């Protein structure tokens, strides 16, 4: 049976707790970390301890490890039929929703979570195929359960007799009122209105179920009395993955071979400990002699020792880093990006390109400080939990991580993507000048955002947001759309990374657009080429024109400038025809966008950054 998923998709969109629809009407939920560990243990029991090589799965990124409080990350294991190491490992899943119905007679039945074989109808001699219902019930705290169909059909209560439900899609308009749930006791009710907010409040509240943890996640529910909301199981708001990411930033010098950098990154803590207790380098030398690269003869021991000592004595490295928030990671990356690094021996190569004195260069220098061509980059993406209904639910990251397993784990699923990118550093002086004349619609949009977050999140503290952030964010989206149109990139093959802070001490105003296909070769230079001065000049001109007119104008601009649009009205002049990109490409789930930040409104063109 075909149940294939790309490894990168097992973080987003098909991370732990997400429903995956497979061929033949099969719906499975990705299991939690306990089941991943159990899969490894079972293979070790069946094939022997030597069969499992954990090094193949291990990913190290010290900054993210410190931020998330774990010791390492593991990439999802690929399935191999025949291999001397790590063969026949599968990502575990459970059948959910449990409510299924027969495609022949319509009889409904709840299936066991861990059922292996595809279920069949047991009503009489039917033996028809059972397929899952299309609906699930979720709550704002991340719980998910079956829709309480029995209580929906019997809102006034049930007697003690056995109740057998029947599902009938019926004929008609195809809306929910055409779907009828009938009971053997004679009661029947359509599903009309079941997806309305508060539709289940009178019959049920959240049971605190976590089926991704297996049967124990239902037998031992979390206390919860939030309202349930019925959703189509394939809806995007059933599961929002919380992805934490960081770019690889080499700590060793530009001339340090890549092999040496790998050893330093892998063993940095041990190397520092031995160096502290070592007087003449003997202990360090003995340890380095055990490294696979030295044993295989790929590097001489004395040469490796020289590089390692040079690194340790330079005072660089991750040992003394204090990472307490995403901001700490961003500010370090921002400094690296603006400095650049011209090295062929690293997964990070960035060339800073100031603008020339040509007509194009003069125009660009009015708005930007420089462009950085990133020929090589490596990003580590970590799955740190999920939310439902809304992308932000107010729960702490630590609580979301704890919900991924029954027992505490010191690892999280992760994936590494390789590629290239362009980083655009905006002019701080130009932004300051523009802020004095930016239109008030942008401040109103920010106020709506803070109000909506405060409604959902207890003790919400206002984020650092100014009209400059909306400008950077909208510019990034328009740039992604233009790159897809000009260069043939897939709409989801590019990502944004916004570097923004209004703090005087750590001010940031930059945008990184990069490939994220996961291919070790990236996109072979296509994106970097667009960052060259003449090409970038053309891109900016085209972005300005794209911002001036949307195919949904004047409605898009007028509605966006007056009352906002999109979910919770958290966008200004931005819709699917102009500034929306795939959610996998956007850090903000397509919120806080407004074209008027770039070009002004119809009533006030001068309020745009590119006036």
Domain ranges in the chain? 7-94, 100-210+224-238, 252-315, 326-387+399-599
CA-to-CA distance for 429 and 437, rounded, in angstroms?
13
CA-to-CA distance for 81 and 95, rounded, in angstroms?
24
Within 301-396, residue ranges assigned H as helices are: 301-314, 326-339, 359-367
CB 211 within 8 A of CB 95: no
Q: Which residues contact 505 (CB under 8 A, 6 or more apart)?
A: none
The secondary element (H helix, E strand) that includes residue 598 is helix 596-599
Within 92-225, residue ranges assigned H as helices are: 149-153, 216-219
Of 60-69, 283-292, 311-320, 408-417, the range with the lowest mean pLDDT is: 311-320
The secondary element (H helix, E strand) that includes residue 283 is helix 282-289
Kindly state the average pLDDT of the residues 395-403.
94
For the record, the structure tokens of 531 come out as: 């960052």
Residue 320: per-residue pLDDT: 54
> What mean pLDDT is reported for the chain?
89
Residue 26 pLDDT > 70: yes
Residue 257: band (very low, low, confident or very high) from pLDDT cuts 50, 70, 90: confident
CB 150 within 8 A of CB 172: no
**Tokens 């007119």 appear where?**
549
CB 103 within 8 A of CB 166: no
Kindly state the average pLDDT of the residues 366-376.
95
Of 92-106, 506-520, 530-544, the range with the lowest mean pLDDT is: 506-520
Q: Comparing C-alpha atoms, which of 345, 321, 336 is closest to residue 261?
A: 345
Residue 525: per-residue pLDDT: 59
Residue 522 pLDDT > 70: no
Residue 49: per-residue pLDDT: 87
- Length of the chain in terms of residues written: 611
Strands 99-102, 494-501: parallel, antiparallel or unpaired by DSSP?
A: unpaired
Kindly state the average pLDDT of the residues 154-170.
87
Residue 37 pLDDT > 60: yes
Residue 458: per-residue pLDDT: 82
- Percent of the chain at pLDDT > 90 equals 62
Residue 157: per-residue pLDDT: 84
Residue 271 pLDDT > 90: no
Residue 121: band (very low, low, confident or very high) from pLDDT cuts 50, 70, 90: very high
Task: State the number of CA atoms in the 13 A half-sphere of 138 facing the CB.
Answer: 26
**Tokens 């590089």 appear where?**
307
Tens of pLDDT, residues 183-208 = 999 999 999 999 999 999 999 999 99
Residue 126: band (very low, low, confident or very high) from pLDDT cuts 50, 70, 90: confident
Residue 319 pLDDT > 60: no
- Percent of the chain at pLDDT > 70 equals 94
Please provide the DSSP assignment of 437-486 as one string: T--HHHHHHHHHHHHHHHHHSTT-------HHHHHHHHHHHHHHHHHHHH
The secondary element (H helix, E strand) that includes residue 424 is strand 411-426
Phi/psi of residue 436, nearest 5 degrees: -70, -15
Q: Which residue would you say has higher pLDDT here, 405 or 294?
A: 405
Residue 223: per-residue pLDDT: 93
Tens of pLDDT, residues 208-233 = 999 999 999 999 999 998 999 999 99
* Secondary structure letter of residue 410 according to DSSP: S
Residue 99: band (very low, low, confident or very high) from pLDDT cuts 50, 70, 90: very high
Residue 173: per-residue pLDDT: 62
b/e string for 577-593 if b means 16 or more Cβ within 10 A? ebbbbebbbbbbebbbb
Residue 47: per-residue pLDDT: 86
Tens of pLDDT, residues 558-606 = 999 889 998 889 999 999 999 999 988 999 989 999 999 999 998 888 9
Of 103-112, 347-356, 466-475, 515-524, the range with the lowest mean pLDDT is: 515-524
CA distances from 497 to 244, 355, 419, 518 (A): 12, 22, 14, 16
Q: Comparing C-alpha atoms, which of 68, 422, 377 is closest to residue 250?
A: 377
Residue 1: per-residue pLDDT: 58
Residue 316: per-residue pLDDT: 58
**Tokens 């049976």 appear where?**
1
């Amino acid at each position: 049976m075909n149940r294939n998923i790309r490894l990168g998709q097992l973080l987003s969109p098909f991370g732990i707790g997400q429903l995956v629809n497979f061929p033949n009407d099969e719906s499975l939920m990705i299991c939690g970390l306990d089941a991943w560990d159990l899969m490894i243990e079972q293979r070790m029991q069946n094939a022997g301890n030597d069969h499992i090589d954990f090094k193949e799965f291990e990913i190290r990124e010290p900054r993210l490890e410190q931020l998330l409080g774990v010791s390492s990350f593991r990439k999802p294991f690929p399935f191999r039929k025949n291999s001397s190491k790590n063969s026949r490992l599968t990502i575990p899943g459970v059948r959910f929703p449990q409510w299924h119905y027969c495609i022949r007679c319509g009889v409904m039945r709840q299936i066991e979570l861990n059922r292996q074989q595809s279920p069949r109808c047991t009503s009489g001699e039917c033996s028809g195929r059972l397929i899952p219902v299309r609906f699930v019930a979720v709550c704002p705290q991340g719980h998910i359960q079956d829709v309480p169909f029995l209580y929906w059909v019997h809102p006034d209560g049930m007697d003690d007799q056995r109740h057998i439900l029947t599902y009938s899609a019926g004929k008609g308009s195809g809306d929910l009122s055409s779907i009828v749930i009938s009971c053997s006791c004679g009661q029947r009710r359509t599903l009309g209105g079941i997806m309305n907010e508060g539709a289940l409040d009178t019959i049920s509240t959240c049971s605190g179920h976590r089926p991704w943890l297996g049967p124990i996640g239902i037998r031992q529910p979390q206390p919860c009395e939030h309202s349930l909301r019925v959703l189509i199981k394939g809806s995007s708001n059933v599961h929002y993955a919380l992805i934490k990411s960081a770019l690889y930033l080499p700590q060793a010098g530009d001339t340090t071979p890549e092999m040496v950098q790998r050893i330093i990154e892998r063993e940095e803590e041990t190397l520092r400990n031995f160096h502290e207790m070592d007087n003449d380098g003997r202990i360090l030398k003995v340890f380095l002699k055990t490294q696979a690269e030295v044993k295989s003869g790929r590097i001489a021991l004395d040469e490796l020792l020289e590089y390692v000592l040079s690194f340790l004595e330079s005072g660089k490295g991750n040992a003394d880093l204090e990472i307490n928030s995403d901001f700490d990671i961003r500010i370090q990356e921002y400094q690296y990006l603006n400095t650049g690094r011209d090295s062929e021996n690293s997964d990070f190569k960035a060339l800073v390109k100031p603008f020339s004195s040509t007509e194009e260069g003069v125009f660009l220098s009015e708005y930007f400080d420089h462009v950085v061509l990133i020929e090589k980059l490596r990003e580590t993406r970590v799955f740190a939990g999920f939310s439902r209904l809304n992308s932000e639910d107010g729960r702490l990251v630590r609580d979301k991580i704890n919900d991924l397993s029954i027992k505490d784990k010191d690892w999280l699923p992760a994936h590494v993507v390789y590629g290239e990118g362009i980083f655009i550093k905006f002019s701080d002086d130009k932004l300051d000048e523009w802020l004095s004349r930016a239109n008030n619609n942008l401040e109103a949009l920010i106020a709506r955002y803070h109000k909506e977050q405060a409604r959902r999140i207890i003790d919400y503290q206002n984020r650092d947001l100014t009209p400059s952030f909306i400008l950077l964010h909208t510019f990034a989206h328009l740039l992604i759309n233009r790159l897809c149109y000009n260069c043939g990139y897939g709409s989801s093959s590019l990502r944004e990374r916004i570097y923004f802070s209004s703090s005087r001490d750590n001010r940031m105003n930059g945008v990184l657009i990069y490939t994220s296909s996961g291919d070790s070769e990236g996109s072979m230079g296509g994106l970097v080429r667009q960052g060259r001065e003449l090409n970038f000049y053309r891109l900016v001109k085209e972005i300005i024109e794209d911002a001036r007119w949307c195919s949904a104008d004047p409605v898009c601009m007028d509605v966006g400038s007056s009352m906002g649009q999109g979910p919770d009205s958290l966008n200004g002049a931005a819709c699917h025809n102009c500034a929306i990109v795939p959610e996998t490409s956007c850090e903000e789930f397509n919120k806080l966008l407004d074209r008027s930040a770039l070009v002004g409104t119809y009533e006030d063109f001068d309020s745009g950054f590119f006036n």
